[in-house]
Amino acid sequence: MKAKIEVTIGDDEGNVIGQLNPQTLDLGKPSLHDIEGAVEAWRRRALPQGDP
């Protein structure tokens, strides 16, 4: 199972102020545990280090 994650950051007025390129994730089998693991691995790669 594959999924696409897109991150868009907007201001209070709805204007886009930042955006990451869409990423495709291989989620493995469609269980909640596998999906959470794939999303967490992506988050660690894509987002700046610091408090989540």
- Condensed to tens digits (0 to 9), the pLDDT of residues 3-34 reads 888 889 999 999 999 988 888 888 777 788 88
Domains of the chain: which residue ranges?
2-46
Q: What is the 8-class DSSP label of residue 13? A: T
Residue 52 has pLDDT above 60, yes or no: no
How far apart (Å, rounded) are the C-alpha atoms in residues 49 and 43? 10
Q: What is the pLDDT of residue 10?
A: 93
Residue 14 vs residue 48, higher pLDDT: 14
Q: What is the pLDDT of residue 51?
A: 54
Q: What is the pLDDT of residue 15?
A: 95
